[in-house]
A and B are shown apart, each in its own frame.
Chain A
Amino acid sequence: MFMPRSSFEKENNTYQFLPFRFERWGDNRFFLSNEVGEFTFLGVKAFRDFINQELCTSSVEFKNLSAKHFLFQDSSTVHLDLLASKYRTKRAFLDGFTKLHIFVTTLRCNQSCPYCQVSRKDEQAAINHFDMSVHTLRKSIELMLSSPAPHVTMEFQGGEPLLNFELIRQGVEIAKELNQSIGKEIDFVICTNLVTLTDEHLDFCEKEGVLLSTSLDGPEALHNRNRPFQGGGGSYDAVVRGIRRAQEALGKHSVSALMTTTRHSLEHADAIVDEYLKLDMGSIFIRELNPYGFAIKTANSIGYSSSEFVQFYKKVFERIIEVNRQGRTFSEAFASLILTKVLTPWPIGFVDLQSPAGAGLGVVVYNYDGDVYTSDEGRMLAEAQDTMFRMGNVHEDDYDQIFFGEKMQEIAAASCNEALAGCSDCAFQNYCGADPVRNHRTQHDMFGHRAKKGTFCDRNKPIIRYLIETLDAADADLQSILWAWIRREDVNDMQVGKIK
């Protein structure tokens, strides 16, 4: 009355492939990943059998590959529905289109960081030349609110946006007013060096629910070297004071910081992490220098090779893991993004780590003069007379012309790593992204090629690989730490069987 297992197996041992990509992993293994980011390892022999369609259908490897949708047998058809649904989920960052709207309220700045990618102007420069007008502000906000996204972020940048605080105040007011009949959710963020932060600013942020994002490059000497004032002197004391005041007034989670790596940072991995811990920050984002703007001129003094950066990244990462093992929750943002892509069915919305890339599709920059760019880097290039990434102007073009115009379509075509030479068959394609702006800048070709020097592949590939190697070898504690980062939980609450 019961049928044996064999009567549920397909008679002939046949199976068909579903799309996947692979890469050698050491001497004995292959790493395989599929369209939705699921992955598995196979021994060399099993891999050969698999691709020769000779893998035994009752083997563990076969079942793994079938469960993760690398292959199928025609006795079951549900895999296509599952894959379709997972694919939709992973691409859900596209729902709603452009979500991050950056407003360059002024080009004026009080600092002169050697790596600055923005063509800043002197603090005292003529206001009506380098500040955004209220008219431009309102036009830009109207465009932002025309986006289909139900949830947008309005980010104020510069220069140093607090030098034009009045415009921020007006921006928040106009956005809230116009949004009354539209009903989007709007997050407000000011990207500031915090140097000129006042109580008035903090009261405003508290009242309007505005978050602060700042830059902190590490301990005093390093930060001061990377981020001097116009006319000399370091900004370390000012930013630390600013962070502390903001944390007190707005709460710890309302202030985040970005860290930019220069040649001077490379020797200070531990000290940089410790500086962040000292300031009670919850995470750090280890960012590579971009080959744009002023940085290219000073490349010789502050630049480094991608492999030097990768070495540095690993050192910082290891230090951070050590800290977490001691019970202090502190995450590295790039790793959290990659791990979310590798280990979960969920999408992330991060400009450089998505395909199609975020330029224009996920993020848009409204420049002080009304020009609209796909990104900060795009507007930087325009300062050097290269208007490749100028999507239009808020006074001259309407929403469709800007977001669906010829320029945007050209950029979008080069934004899908599925269709880029070198990326199209890369096993990390799903975890990575595309950077047409960087390709254009370094190779004079938005599509670019991975084999050329200086692509972001030189950084992404080894780091992604390193993170997967780390996962593959992770003990129970490390697993719980990495999951705490992904899920934004306290590492101490992530131990199995531990009662809170």
Chain B
Amino acid sequence: MIDPLPLRLKANRSTLKNRTIAKITRIHQQKERRSDYFYITNNPNEKDIDNYSAVISYDYNDKIEADQNIVFFDADVIQQITDGTIVAINPDGRMHLLFRPESPHNTLFTTNSCNNNCLMCSQPPHDDNIEEMAKEQMKILDLIDNPPELLGLTGGEPTLLDGWLIDILSRINDQLPSSQIHMLTNGRRYADSEYCTKIAKIGNPNFLSLIPLFADNSVDHDYVVQSNGAFDETIRGIYNAAAMGLRIEVRVVLHKQTIPRLPELMEFIYRNLPFVEHVALMGLENMGYVKKNWETLWIDPIDYHEPLTEAVKHLFYRGIPVSIYNLQMCVVPEQLRSFMRNSISDYKNIYLTECSQCTLRSLCGGLFASSEKLHSRGIKAQKNHSVREFTT
């Protein structure tokens, strides 16, 4: 098994008084800009190290003296972090990686609050200080040097940031005009036309809303998201958004509650939401609530070949682009492999010992790290295939 890079690291000691967000650098920066940086050095004689948000040293080297904040890490921990990485360090020494320039999967965690409470939520929601969260996102945006190809926004539910989200999206539009912006939202707030208009008015053509829909009827959907009235609001939201020219992808998480009517859900989407630009069918991630609701949710992908094939065909015939995310090549029928997208974030995915024998490994997204023990009984090295069979 290959270890993914953890997003949280722990310092041995920190003198920071407040949670601080800055960028990692190993080369000196001009004085005026130093508050944007954490400067890494292990040279005890280094001079002129003032004005940084903090100096980071390793090997617990007390020799470095500074009139300012200093944080000590183990060498092997800090060596993994590249220059330009945006991190937050808390007074207790916990460090969060917020933006990694080398990663294709950067995401802003806008808030932990949510107005749904999905059975399979991987980030179980809890209330937080929305203003503080928003300000952090703004800070991160200011620190990004090179626009990433793709930047995600997720939560919780980003629209709960209310006016702050409009500010964030406007700043993104100004500062990262070339980046694709994918915001995961339950779309309920879009039912509020005034709010939806504000987002649409920003006019970012690269902005895509990823909206989960779990059923073709209100009872099933409301049950999955654990909120009465959610279906109606999400549907109205999608309509509003589309009417105002916002682009939409619909997402469906594949589990025991969504599989039985999956093909019917595809028909519902085609008949009622034919304007969506993409439908993503997503394998289940064994995180957060999923562990709690394992019995309610888990169905082995090799046991839903038929409805999955039906569903993909349904959209394919009708010309609605469809992709499968988060499943492994070996657990979907061959017919569907060209619809697979290698989507598990690089810090989350792993491969098993079985995978080392597999000819499709370079195409396969592997498994969520959280699925190392609990995964499909169909994981099996694919011996007689070539990658070319399934790529365009």
For residue A38, CB closer than 8 A to chain B, the reply is yes
Q: Is the CB of B223 within 8 A of A5?
A: yes
Q: Is the CB of A499 within 8 A of B232?
A: no
Q: Which of A75, A479, A499 interacts with B390 by CB under 8 Å? A: A499
Number of A-B contacts (CB under 8 A): 89
Q: Which residue of B lies closest to A75 (CB)?
A: B218
A47 to chain B, nearest CB (A): 19
In the bound assembly, the distance between CA atoms of A77 and B218 in angstroms comes to 10
Q: Considering residues A2, A9, A64, A487, which has the most beta carbons from chain B within 10 angstroms of its beta carbon?
A: A2
Q: Is the CB of B318 within 8 A of A81?
A: no
Hey, what's the 0/1 contact readout for B360-392 against A, CB within 8 Å counting as 1?
000000000000000000000000000001111
Hey, what's the 0/1 contact readout for A63-81 against B, CB within 8 Å counting as 1?
1101110000001111001
B291 to chain A, nearest CB (A): 13
B358 to chain A, nearest CB (A): 19
Q: Considering residues A36, A67, A494, A500, which has the most beta carbons from chain B within 10 angstroms of its beta carbon?
A: A67
CB-CB under 8 A for A78 and B231, given A496-B335, A497-B336: yes
Residues from chain B with Cβ under 8 Å of A345 in the complex:
270-272, 274
Hey, what's the 0/1 contact readout for A462-499 against B, CB within 8 Å counting as 1?
00000000000000100110010001000000101101
Residues from chain A with Cβ under 8 Å of B267 in the complex:
67
Q: Is the CB of A496 within 8 A of B313?
A: yes
Q: Is the CB of B392 within 8 A of A9?
A: no
A465 to chain B, nearest CB (A): 22
Residues from chain A with Cβ under 8 Å of B232 in the complex:
76-78
CB-CB under 8 A for A9 and B319, given A2-B119, A345-B270, A496-B312: no
- Which B312-343 residues have C-beta < 8 A from chain A? 312-313, 316-319, 334-339
For residue A238, CB closer than 8 A to chain B, the reply is no
Q: Which of A2, A8, A86, A487 interacts with B228 by CB under 8 Å? A: A8
In the bound assembly, the distance between CA atoms of A81 and B270 in angstroms comes to 16
- Which B173-222 residues have C-beta < 8 A from chain A? 216-220, 222
Q: Is the CB of B216 within 8 A of A67?
A: yes
CB-CB under 8 A for A81 and B337, given A67-B264, A345-B274: no
For residue A85, CB closer than 8 A to chain B, the reply is yes
Q: Is the CB of A78 within 8 A of B313?
A: no
In the bound assembly, the distance between CA atoms of A77 and B219 in angstroms comes to 12
- Which A45-72 residues have C-beta < 8 A from chain B? 63-64, 66-68
Q: Is the CB of A487 within 8 A of B216?
A: no
In the bound assembly, the distance between CA atoms of A86 and B312 in angstroms comes to 23
Residues from chain A with Cβ under 8 Å of B312 in the complex:
496
Q: Which of B226, B293, B309, B317 interacts with A3 by CB under 8 Å? A: B226
B290 to chain A, nearest CB (A): 12
For residue B239, CB closer than 8 A to chain A, the reply is yes
For residue A401, CB closer than 8 A to chain B, the reply is no
Q: Which residue of B lies closest to A343 (CB)?
A: B318
Q: Which residue of A lies closest to B339 (CB)?
A: A497
Residues from chain A with Cβ under 8 Å of B270 in the complex:
344-345
Q: Which residue of A lies closest to B218 (CB)?
A: A76
Q: Is the CB of B239 within 8 A of A483?
A: no
Q: Considering residues B216, B264, B272, which has the most beta carbons from chain A within 10 angstroms of its beta carbon?
A: B272
For residue A82, CB closer than 8 A to chain B, the reply is yes
In the bound assembly, the distance between CA atoms of A82 and B392 in angstroms comes to 36
* Closest 5 pairs (CB-CB, A-B): A67-B216, A497-B335, A76-B218, A483-B317, A78-B232
**Which residues of B line the A interface, CB within 8 A?**
117, 119, 216-220, 222-223, 226, 228, 231-232, 235-236, 239, 261, 264, 267-268, 270-272, 274, 293, 309, 312-313, 316-319, 334-339, 389-392
